[in-house]
Every structure is written in C-alpha cells, then in structure tokens.
Chain A
C-alpha cells in the first residue's frame, strides 16, 4: 500500500511551502501531488517553482505528480494547464499529471500521455465512465471523497482489468468550488482585489453554525468540511479497495499523520490505537461518514 500526499489546498508563504516539502522529502510517503489546484490568483509558487520542488522530491525517491486546477475559468488558466501537460508529453523527463477537469483529460489524450491520474473532481462514479478515462490514458484513479467504500468496490469488481485506486484517507474534505471567493467575502473584499488574505491562514477559516458548532472551512474559492476525514480506524476495510491512500496537507503535524498511517499499514500500530493517537494532531474532530455511505460529517463506528 502506497501513501500519497495530496496537493496543498491552502495558501502558505513561499518559505513555508519549501520547508514543508523539505520535511516531506524525508517522510514515509511514496507519491507527492504538487501544484495549485484551488485558485489561480495564488502565486507564491508559480509552475516553475513547483517543478523545482518536484525535482527535489524526485531526487529523494518520491513519485511526483503535477495536479491541474479544479476549476478552469480563463485563457490564462488554460495556458498553465497546457504547460503542465506539455512537461509530461515530452516523454520521461517530466512529472506525471493528475487531471482535475475534462479539459485536462482532452489535452492529455490529445498529447498521447498514457500514464495520468484521473483526479477526484472528474465525477467518475461508474465503470463505464472510468473505462473512458482508462481508454484515454488514465493509469490511476483518485476517487471522489464522497464515494462510499461499497460503491467503490462495485466499480472495481466491474473493471475488466485492475486499476490502481487512490482513496482520500485523511484531511479536511474539499467539498465545493465556486467562482466566488469566500475568504475575500469575509473580509469585505472583492476577489479581484483580495489582498491575498488567504496567505498564512494555514488551515483555512472556521465557519460555525449559530450555535457555535464547527461546520465548514472557508479556503478561498473552495469550501471544505470543518471535520477531518480520517480513515485510520477503517484501514482494514479500506485496504481491500485501494492501493494508494491520500493524505491532505494541514498547517502542522502532517509528518506525524503520515507516520501514523505508515505504522498502521506496517502493522506496528492497531487502527483503533492510531485513530486515537491521531487526535492529538488533528485540527478538528474526525469524520468518516462518506466511506460508510452516510452523511460525510458523521463519525461512524460499526456496532
């Protein structure tokens, strides 16, 4: 079982990002997804900088994957997308690509790239659609977090040949994208003149109900769950349906989380023990409802 570090969903200062990935180069992860997937206004690291980070990680033995932006709006978004595809289309020199919209799928297929990752925002929910992605060159499927384990098992069972599958196993759930920036809105700013207020908000901004209960997290144009989706306690079942587990970076202690997953997969910790231990490193209460086919916010423990 491989561990993958998902793309950084927040906007951290340049040096924080470099420090984070220097740390990850030493951490027991197999794959690292890089690149800006949330907001095209974020530019602490530009594509060249991400590719540089990728080289460092590749030198440390990690598989590097460049993730494309989830919501493509402008011609300049398309330009970045084309450059990400092009760096791979040249052959073995570049990094593998994760396609996060059908525009990326079209460009990858057109360029003849044959080893890309079908990203979690492609809305692949059935074997027919997944087969189309495979035919277009996908060799790994990063499953949408909202998909239940049982539904995933059905898709996998229906495939004519096995496909490497990646499950979102840890982190605040990326639930929605918008054209509107909710962080700018919170500060009474417009998106075009947002003053880059996301910068340095390491884990997004908490949104609570009027009873004070944590509900969602504002992360620019992205809305996340408040709770942390955490499948440590469910690893025995998850193992049967995935070859890769995705851990989403958080503001601090990502290293400890990665190590907990590694130890649990290696059998040196029990899932229940690991889940209990992870609470110390989590920014909010855990949830796992999606995996169990329930409301994502639930923390479900089988009776």
Chain B
C-alpha cells in the first residue's frame, strides 16, 4: 500500500502581517492576491502591492513554504490586459502557483509561462472529474479546489478518477451556493464574485438603528433585522433572514462557518492533498488561531495515524471563537445539511 502524501495546510494571507503569522504558526502554503479586481477578495485595505508581495514571498521561501497567488476572477474584454499582466508578474515574482478560474487566462498562462504551476480555483465550479480533467488536459492544471458542494463519497470518486491533486475547503466562511455559479450579489448590487471579486460589497451596506431594531441593508434591500441583544452580523445576502410563506428564518443559510476538523482522518484516507482555510479578509489574529489548531491536528494525524486521531475539545473551542456566528457546520459533507 502506498503511503498517502501528507496534507498541505493552505492558509489565507490578506496582508503581509497575516502572511507572516500564517507561516509562523505552521502553514505549508499561503495564498494571497494583488490589490485589484483580479482576485475574489477585492476589499479595501486588503491584499498586496508588488513590494509587499516580494517581501512575503521571500519570508515564506526562506522558511521553505509556498506562496500561491489567487487570480480567480473572470476578466472581460476591456480589462483583459490587467489579468495577463498579473500572470506575468506572478511568473516574475517566483510564486509557487497561480490559482485561476478563467480558461482563457489558463491558456495564456500555459502558453506564456509553461513552467508556472496552475491551480484551478473554486470559482471554476468544477465539481466532477470530467470537468477537472478537461482543465488538466487543456492547460496542465495540477491541482483543483473543489466547490463546497460534494459529499465525502463524491469527493472520493473525483480523486479516484483524476490525476489532478484535490484541495478542499476545511474551515471558514461558507458559501452555500456553488462558487462561480452565484450571481446573487450581482443581482442585488451589480458587483459579483465572478467579475468584481466581491460579494455583498461594503460600499452597498447600510446599518440603521430603527425603532424595529438594527436593520442591515444591501443596496437598499433589507437583509436582516436584529432585536436588542442580538448580535448584528454583516449582511452577506445569502445569510439574512427572509420571509417565505409567512415564516421568517434563515431561508438560505445561517451565519455559520464550515469546520471539517473532525473529518480529517477520512479526508486523509481518500487522498485529499491540501486543505484550504478561508478568510483573507480576516485579521492576523484569526489566521494565527486557525492555523495553530489545524497545524496541531495535521501533526497529530501524521504522528498517530487515523486510529490515534481525535479532535481535542480545546481545538473546537478555539475555532468556534473565530467562527462566523460562533457556530460551525460540516456543510455538504454532512448529508442532512443539504
């Protein structure tokens, strides 16, 4: 029997301090983006200018860790050159891989920088091995990040039928919709993850203290209303409370985080090659907390194998502290979630 490859821990770096924190706490890889719409976390105050990126790469490489660049939004005709320039810069900076969603951009990267390693972004919405193998055959994609929709058995089937390494989301903010297939934000605000790198963007958000309670609006659309004592969450539009047939509830999804820590032995068994932590928009403190726990868990699994693995109560407590809504879910890995 072949020994399964160790699982890489891929951590978010929304800033240089976050990058260093992730590396210091045991990340195998960090992923980051440029300060523009070429990545899916195009938020004010976030991401890297060229100097910061060079410094971050040097910091990581000096400690034998990898740096991945997310270029995972879809360029349009008029702004195409910004994306190809970003690919060129990535090759020039010596990034370890670029994470792409757009096939046209992959073709450009594969042709112009054949040595540059390509990952398929979750925004590419590839949920089957047939789709993933297309990217592999056409552009030499070496790793694919799966949308958060498949069950464990389905992920296992994907892995069994593709030479492409599979990375999954292990922890963090949970998209209830298939990534890359969601135009809810575009519908409500005109800005989408696909084309603008933003979902429910802050400039469209309004918080209003009213006699009915704290109301959160997105481009004027009421996303939720909070009673006194309720913690008012950010109005991500799929995580609001709405009325359906006279019932008011979280009709799409609760404000909750994905947490697959307890599935770690099973994920290792089926051959997952990397686990991604969501949250480039989160603070270095979040990155430290989450990276530390996942590093400890992966090390424990490596040392003791599946039989020796158990989730320490302290780990879950630490992770719940930084979870959205202070709660967590197994998402699509847990069938009743669907």
Residue of A173, A223, A290 near B252 (CB, 8 A) is A223
Q: Does B75 contact A (CB under 8 A)?
A: yes
B101 at the binding interface (Cβ < 8 Å) = yes
A37 surroundings in chain B (CB, below 8 A): none
Does A158 make an interface contact (CB < 8 A)? yes
Closest chain A residue, CB of each to CB of B219: A295
Measured in the bound complex, the distance between the Cα atoms of B183 and A190 in whole Å is: 25
The verdict on B115 contacting chain A, using a C-beta distance below 8 Å, is: no
- Within the assembled complex, what's the spacing in Å between the Cα atoms of A173 and B131? 25
B14 to chain A, nearest CB (A): 25
A100 vs B335: C-alpha distance when bound (angstroms): 25
Binary contact readout A212-230 vs B (1 if CB under 8 angstroms, 0 otherwise): 1101101000010100000
Total contacting residues, chain B, CB less than 8 A: 70
Q: Does B22 contact A (CB under 8 A)?
A: no
Q: Is the CB of A295 within 8 A of B101?
A: no
Chain B minimum-CB-distance residue to A152? B77
Q: How far is the CA of A125 from the CA of B74 in the complex (A)?
A: 7
Residue of B nearest to A109 (CB): B134
Return A7 CB to nearest CB of chain B, in Å. 16
* Nearest-Cβ distance from residue A289 to partner chain B, whole angstroms: 7
A208 partner residues in chain B, CB cutoff 8 A: 242-244
Chain B residues, Cβ within 8 Å of A105: 131, 134
Instruction: Say yes or no: A72 contacts B186, CB within 8 Å.
Output: no
Are B134 and A126 closer than 8 Å at their CB atoms?
Answer: no
Within the complex, the shortest CB–CB distance from A85 to chain B, in Å, comes to: 10
Residues in chain B near residue A297, CB distance under 8 A: 187-188, 219, 221
| B244 with A106: CB separation less than 8 A | no
The reply to whether B130 and A107 form a contact with Cβ atoms under 8 Å apart is: yes
CB distance A128 to B105 under 8 Å? yes
Residues of A contacting B124 in the complex (Cβ-Cβ under 8 angstroms): 102, 123
Answer yes or no: A175 CB below 8 A from chain B CBs.
Answer: yes
Given contacts A106-B133, A207-B244, contact A78 B222 (CB under 8 A): no
Q: Which residues of A contact B225 (CB under 8 A)?
A: 210
Q: Any chain A CB within 8 A of the CB of B330?
A: no
CB of B222 within 8 A of CB of A190, answer no
Are the CB atoms of A121 and B104 closer together than 8 Å? Answer: no
Task: Contact check, A102 vs B251: say whether CB atoms are below 8 A apart.
Answer: no
Q: Which of A101, A157, A158 has the most CB of B within 10 A?
A: A101
Docked-complex contact B222 and A209, CB < 8 angstroms: yes
- Distance A128 CA – B134 CA, assembled complex (angstroms): 16
Chain A, residues 159-193, CB within 8 Å of chain B (1/0): the string is 00000000000000101111111101110001110
- In the complex, the chain B residue whose C-beta lies closest to that of A180 is B338
Find residues 133-181 in chain B having any chain A CB closer than 8 Å to their own CB.
Answer: 133-135, 137-138, 148-151, 154, 157, 176-178, 180-181
Residue of A nearest to B104 (CB): A128
Contacts of B129 in A (CB 8 A): 103
Quick check: is B107 within 8 A (CB to CB) of the other chain? yes
Report the Cα distance A223→B178, complex, angstroms: 11
- Which one of A73, A104, A144 has the highest number of Cβ atoms from chain B below 10 Å of its Cβ? A73
List the 8 closest A-B pairs by CB distance, nearest first. Answer: A128-B104, A103-B130, A179-B149, A129-B104, A106-B134, A154-B77, A296-B187, A103-B131
Q: A70-B181, A127-B80, A205-B245 are in contact. List 4 more A-B contacts (CB 8 A).
A: A71-B178, A123-B125, A190-B335, A210-B225
User: Which A positions have Cβ atoms within 8 angstroms of B?
Assistant: 70-75, 77-78, 81, 101-107, 109, 121, 123, 125-132, 144-146, 151, 154-155, 157-158, 173, 175-182, 184-186, 190-192, 205-213, 215-216, 218, 223, 225, 289-290, 293-297
17 A–B contacts, CB within 8 A, in A order = A71-B127, A78-B128, A102-B125, A102-B131, A121-B125, A126-B80, A127-B77, A129-B104, A154-B78, A158-B77, A176-B183, A178-B178, A191-B335, A207-B242, A210-B242, A289-B190, A297-B219
